[in-house]
């Protein structure tokens, strides 16, 4: 005997698995000698209800229902194939979309690249055709420009006495700029490729020179002695002795002398220092 847990009806037909009224799976009921259970009404399907049930659509178990006895490994197989089919359909649609896009835009891109290449070749050809007729005029203009530049640039002085006088004045300006740490003045005296060597053997370029220069208030007086110039084209070398009177921390003033060799180059119509070497006497 079986019982419906929903409507509590019992059925004696052992072949029934579902309630004929609500389709709920039936549960087995143990038979006992309880008099109360004998009084329970056993409902059997009538002819009228049977006819109505035959006209009704067949009962379909709920989607999540798994018939008893189904092996555990096969309970989820029915749910996997719709996902596989859906993924395959999406992939096919994506591939079809890419194919359509390529067929639509690729020809226009190729045409545009071909047009650009044709225009570039036309411009190159036209440029080459324009160069030949104007070649002589361009050369003439270039020669005129060079002549104008040479006119602005003067030849370096050739008189050693004039160069000695000019470099002596430049040495005085250089000394005053060192004492006052006048970086603007020093920037005009020193060439961009200047390299100097101090009396203690250290070397420094123009940038380091300007960065480390400091005002020196200990120098009270200076003068140059034994100045000699050596001139070779646009290069000049000046040697001599710089004599200073320096005040120490105790306020005492004493002499100090440095022998130097400064080298200059003629650039931008003026002498610029490219190197210097100082040794204490």
Cα 263 from Cα 273, distance rounded (Å): 6
Window from 118-122, 143-147, 216-220 with minimum mean pLDDT: 143-147
CB atoms within 10 A of CB 171: 20
**Is the pLDDT score of 82 beyond 90?**
no
Quick one: average pLDDT of 172-198? Answer: 94
Window from 74-83, 133-142, 146-155 with minimum mean pLDDT: 133-142
Residue-wise pLDDT tens digits, 186-215 = 999 999 999 999 878 889 999 999 999 999
pLDDT for res 235: 96
Q: What angle do CA 3, 8, 11 make, to 5 degrees?
A: 35
Sorted by where each begins, the domain ranges of the chain are 1-63, 160-280
**Is the pLDDT score of 14 beyond 50?**
yes
pLDDT for res 37: 46
Mean predicted lDDT score pLDDT of the chain: 76
CATH topology of domain 160-280: Nuclear Transport Factor 2; Chain: A, (3.10.450)
Window from 34-43, 74-83, 163-172, 261-270 with minimum mean pLDDT: 34-43
DSSP structure class, residue 228: E
CB atoms within 10 A of CB 166: 18
What percentage of residues in the chain have a pLDDT greater than 70?
67
Cα 166 from Cα 160, distance rounded (Å): 10
User: What sign does the dihedral 14-16-17-20 (CA atoms) show?
Assistant: negative
**Is the pLDDT score of 136 beyond 80?**
no
Q: Is the pTM of this model over 0.85?
A: no
Identify which of 106-115, 139-148, 250-259 has the greatest average pLDDT. 250-259
What does each C-alpha distance from 217 to 199, 221, 252, 279 come to in angstroms? 20, 11, 13, 21
pLDDT class of 26 with cuts at 50, 70, 90: confident
């Amino acid at each position: 005997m079986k019982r419906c847990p929903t409507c509590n009806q019992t059925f004696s037909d052992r072949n029934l698995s579902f309630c004929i009224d609500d389709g709920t799976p039936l549960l087995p009921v143990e038979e006992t000698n309880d008099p109360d259970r004998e009084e329970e009404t056993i409902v059997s399907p009538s002819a009228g209800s049977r006819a109505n049930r035959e006209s009704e659509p067949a009962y379909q178990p709920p989607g999540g229902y798994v018939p008893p006895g189904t092996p555990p490994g096969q309970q989820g197989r029915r749910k996997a194939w719709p996902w596989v089919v859906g993924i395959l359909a999406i992939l096919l649609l994506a591939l079809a979309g890419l194919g359509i896009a390529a067929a639509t835009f690729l020809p226009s891109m190729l045409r545009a690249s071909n047009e650009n290449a044709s225009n570039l070749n036309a411009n190159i050809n036209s440029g080459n055709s324009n160069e030949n007729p104007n070649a002589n005029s361009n050369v003439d203009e270039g020669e005129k420009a060079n002549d104008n530049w040479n006119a602005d640039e003067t030849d370096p002085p050739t008189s050693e006495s004039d160069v000695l006088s000019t470099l002596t004045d430049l040495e005085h300006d250089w000394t005053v700029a060192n004492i006052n740490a006048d970086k603007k003045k020093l920037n005009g005296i020193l060439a961009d490729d200047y390299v100097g060597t101090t009396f203690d053997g250290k070397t420094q370029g123009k940038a380091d020179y300007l960065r480390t220069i400091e005002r020196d208030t200990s120098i009270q007086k200076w003068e140059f002695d034994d100045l000699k110039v050596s001139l070779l084209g646009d290069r000049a070398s000046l040697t001599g002795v710089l004599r200073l009177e320096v005040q120490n921390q105790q306020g005492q003033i004493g002499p100090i002398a440095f022998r130097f060799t400064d080298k200059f180059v003629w650039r931008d119509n003026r002498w610029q220092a490219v190197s210097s070497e100082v040794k204490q006497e």
